[in-house]
Chains A and B, each alone.
Chain A
Amino acid sequence: MSDPSALRAEFEREAIPHMPALYTFAVRMTRDEDDASDLVQETYLKAYRFFDKFERGTNCKAWLFRILKNSYINRFRKSSKAPDTVEYDVIEEFYETIRDSSVETSVLEEQIFSQALDDEVSTALNRLPDEFRTVIILCDIENFTYEEIAEFIDCPIGTVRSRLHRARKILAAQLASYARERGFDVDSDVDSRGNELHVSDGRTPE
């Protein structure tokens, strides 16, 4: 398309509506609203410059996310402003400690998940390492398919599956710990077959 005004109109129609999603992702990744704004601006400028290269009929949102990811990597990979990340080994170790846990999810769902505060969910999400936070945001907030996520993170689909599994498990464990801090009695009794996590409302009745 060579007509600049038509190109601009198409860009407004196809790309601009994804700005909240891009900004949300940028804030979650940078943990800083100013940095997120810079990233999104850079993304849109770059996208507009090369919009003629965008393959029509493909997923514009996924294309924008890829541009944002590249900008994010470029900006933070070697920057002293890089957000703190948890060493992968550490999170792997943590995952190993909870991977065999059997969680009474019916109780969890009723008494923890349903009462989890928005801030707690947000904080738990932010505490995930980049690799895990990315897949949760893309899958559960932005509704990307596994295939799209795999393309985004440059990994096989098996890695997406695995990371999502681990991310959700860590997220659930984190939310259980918040619940404990709020007064829910979340005990972990180890039996011969592994950890059995029981949840009950431990608050004193008024």
Chain B
Amino acid sequence: MTVRTAELLMAIATLALSLGLMFNVYADGLTIGWVEGRGPGAGMWPFWLSAGMALAALATLVRWVQRKTPESRSDAPYIAPETLFLVAVSAVSLLALLVLMTVIGTYLSLMLFMFFYVRVLGKHSWAMTWAFVVGTPIFIYLLFEVALTKYLPKGWPIFEEGFLVIDNLRYEYFY
């Protein structure tokens, strides 16, 4: 995909987004007009600002047709093929991390995530790999659960119960 095509698609997407926002506010029945003696209604701010977004997106679209922006004249690839892999892998690995966090819990998914980057992508030594795979969850546990007293997602009940053993130990011996 060239930058020129991407510019057009993005302009259309932003226009659709703006119109969608306007419709959403309108369909909710919020007052988009002026309330006499009180000024703007609850929906006025989001509705008219979205309208402004739509106009801005439309302007980008018109400038695309006129080939006025540098992007609309560029035939360079939008994401260079040699870096596409890296960007896609990063985005997908994050997506996987978020999905796994809700299924097998934060700590197991962190270990998998680290293993993937350090060993699979980075091809670092096993010593480095283990340091990251084991060190990250421990550091995260100490920082977020102990110091910041947060309860990070533990996944489905079966995984959560397994983890509670560690928490119990902590409360038994340290408090």
Mutual binders A and B: no
